[in-house]
Amino acid sequence: MRYSLNSNRNILGNLVSRFTNKQVNTPAQGTDKMAKVSEKVTSVIDQSNYLSRDLSWLKFNERVLDQARDTKPPLSNRTLMERLKFLAISASNLDEFFMIRVGSLYNYLDYHKQRVDYSGLREVPFRKALYTTAHKFFREQQTVFSEQLLPLFAENGLQLLTHSSLTAEEQAEATNYFDRAIYPTLTPMLYDYTHTFPVLLAKVLIFGVVTQNPDDVEIKSLRAEDEDERQRLSFVQIPANLPRFLSFEREDTIVFIPIEEIVRHNIKKLYRNVEILSVNLFRITRNGDFTLDENDDDEVDFIDEVRQKIKNRRLGRVTRVEIETEGSAAGSQSTISSPWMLNLLKKRWEIDDLNIFESHTLLDFSSLWQIIGNPEFKDDMPLPHAPVQPLGVGRDKTDDIFELIKQRDLLLHHPYNNFEPVLQLLEQAAEDPNVLAIKITVYRLAKRSRITEALLKAAENGKHVSVLFEVKARFDEENNIREAQRLQKAGCFVIYGISRFKTHTKLLLVVRNEGSRVVRYAHMATGNYNEDTSKLYTDIGLLTTNETYTHDISEFFNVITGHSVPNEYQYLITAPRDMREQLLRLIRLEAENAKHGLPSGICIKVNSLEDKLVIDELYKASQAGVPIRLIVRSICCLRPHRAGLSENITVRSIVGDFLEHTRIYYFHNNGDPKVYGGSADVMVRSFDRRIESLFYLADPRVKQQSILILKYNLQDNVNAYELKEDGDFKKCEVPTTGEPFSIHQRFFEITEKEVMDARLFDGELKPAEVAQIEEEYQEGAERAIANI
């Protein structure tokens, strides 16, 4: 009898076993009891004024998957490769979710610690709710692939085949490839009373092979139920550094065969003269969530601790098992499931049916990147739009970045504006004999980073280079340690993060001697110093010589590299110092203005919104009459549109061709808006466990640019989803009489007039202020023309 998940049950019908009686019930009684449990769980979730962080994240991944399935205009002209890309992204996202978020939940469950989710559920029933929702999403991924994308393969010049569908010549070539390249890398690992259970790696394909016990005498003396003695279990891991697909060319078609098909067909070469009872392909995900203990020892011990934690991540508890089902579309006819093997794994890893995800098609959609990146389909991925120059800057690249920044504050909006000015500032500073010092915070770098090379060159040229390298940046730990040690060996002053806090702020300071005075050049940003992701993520960055900014940044560097404690900053808001308190104060001011009949309004664009104290203050502001517009890409724990609580709050999410990463905080301030950009989301970790900064946008023209960014995010009807009170999202649609408005296209085309006319709420900006902005812009444009 084949193992089954009973996946057709109602999603909430199998949630909270602890609410049920342990006495034996008839089927009818059991159904009634399950229905009551479902009602109770649903009621608990619906009554909460907050949405679950983890369930909200799964909703975000649904929106990512929606990009793969969406066939409505204007997204209907997406190519097959683009849609496969989004499916692959959703799979990588889900892997990380089970490593980090589900791993974090198991840190409570395994150590019997109490936890109450924002939904109001305790840790045990919440686990069931979370896994049930994840199962639904997993099935949806398979449906999108097998029913919507796979049928399009043939007309797009490719096929995904099993071994039996290959020609005789192709089968011979596949066998030769196995013998030559695959077979030498495979190692069967037996598990029985003489062999310990092997260490199985996470996120690699593994065959569980059940064989007959070769001792014929022993077999005949055993009863039928003594399966543990009659059968032997071994594992064959397919190395992750082997390509997932082998390809063949057939006239106008590229044929792909998964590597597991080749291994499965040749598996008997690993078990000669042994009867194979079943061959089961599966893949596991392990807990990858770890925190570092406070450590006052030297940096070598700290780095060693990080490295040890990385190793432990590879051995973490199993949180998910994806397993190929019998007769799956991706598997051959020889795929036979083994309930005995599955039960053994469940006991060994202390998991249950909820942890088992049955796949009827290809395992691990993230492997589709190999097909997407095949040179034959290069033309099926649209070329990225060329970046445009920031408004007020000449078309040609300036030879002197220092002169350009001294003229006025410059706001860069990536990827619509190039990241090149930031790289140019660092590279020019590294070679400029007048530059005295460079200070920078680093969270994530490109693999072949021009940032690192510029800092190495600066140190080589005798400049003082200070780098705060966050070696705890998740999944980038090893790369950051390696790059930090390169810089340290070159003579840079390197700080390997701060043990209790994760340094997430993005700041750069260049100190330059200009004759009679020393000028400091600063860059503050919402995104990483990573020239690769700057082409894919939307972010803003500010280049300035404004002494208020540069003084604040100098003070901030003194705090994080030494023991300075400044009384206050003029333009910076920092965490863990007082960021939450400052934001609460700004929200309360808007509520007070609304209560006194004055214009008010709040607009916040972030990746995630989760901090309860800020959410509660937003609820109070809504009840006071403040219109609140939130643009939240992924996690949102605030529940909008609830009567008496949040009627004046709207929440939308933008998911499309670029990953939304910009953070902007806008407060109406009775017609004189206060606008901030920065690295921090509205999350507990950002306020309490990270070094973050928000920077005030003081320049009127820069402020207008940020307001336009928010305004167009609120107008988008192509990539936008609106959050409803029940926690579901509704896709925004282009009005029948309207035109598509996609910010991922529109920001390449913005004009000076659009910037100057941008408004979010009534009563915003006074005429004199607009005139001042226009005058400054005109002067800047004239200087740029003169330079050209």
CA 314 to chain CA centroid, Å, is: 20
Local structure of 514: helix, strand or coil: strand
Tell me how far apart the alpha carbons of residues 10 and 132 are, in angstroms, rounded to a whole number: 9
Give the DSSP H/E element, type plus range, for residue 402.
helix 401-407
Q: Is residue 663 within 8 Å of 575, Cβ to Cβ?
A: no
| Backbone φ and ψ of 411, nearest 5° | -95, 125
Contacts 24+ apart (CB under 8 A), 419-422: 419/531, 419/534, 419/535, 421/543, 422/508, 422/523, 422/525, 422/529, 422/541, 422/543
CB-CB contact of 729 with 59 (8 Å)? yes
- 8 A C-beta contact, residue 447 and residue 528: no
Whose CA is closest to 102, among 323, 348, 316?
Answer: 316
Joined together, the tokens standing for residue 373 give: 């990146």
The number of C-alpha atoms within 13 Å of 166 and in the hemisphere containing its C-beta is 23
Phi-psi bin for 212: left (phi > 0), alpha (psi -120 to 50), beta? beta
What type of residue is 355?
A: N
**Cα four-point dihedral sign 649, 711, 574, 528:** positive
504 is known as an active-site residue: yes
CA distances in angstroms from 385 to 144, 302, 388, 657, 741, listed in the order given: 28, 43, 9, 11, 17
Distances in whole angstroms, Cα of residue 419 to Cα of each of 451, 468, 530, 532, 541: 11, 21, 9, 9, 9
Catalytic residue among 163, 265, 414, 504: 504
Cβ pair 742, 656 in contact under 8 A: yes
158-160 and 493-495 strand pairing: unpaired
* CA 443 – CA 528 distance, rounded (Å): 6
Q: At residue 341, what is the residue type?
A: M
Beta bridge partners of 233: 191, 210
Residue 318 β-bridge partners: 286
DSSP conformation class of 760: S
Residue 23 corresponds to which tokens in the numbers above?
């006495």
Strand pairing category for 628-632 and 517-525: unpaired
Does residue 445 contact residue 278 with C-beta atoms inside 8 Å? no
* Distance of alpha carbon 373 from alpha carbon 377, whole angstroms: 7
Rounded distance between C-alpha atoms, residue 32 and residue 28, angstroms: 6
Write the burial class of residue 21 (CB in 10 Å: 0-12 exposed, 13-18 middle, 19+ buried). Answer: exposed
Per DSSP, 155 falls in state G
Distance from chain centroid for Cα 64 = 11
Q: How many CB atoms lie within 10 A of CB 782?
A: 10
Neighbours of 241 (CB within 10 A): 7
Closest CA to 624 of 644, 654, 652: 644
Instruction: Please give the angle made by the CA atoms of 135, 140 and 144, to the nearest 5 degrees.
Output: 155
Give me the active site residues, please. 504
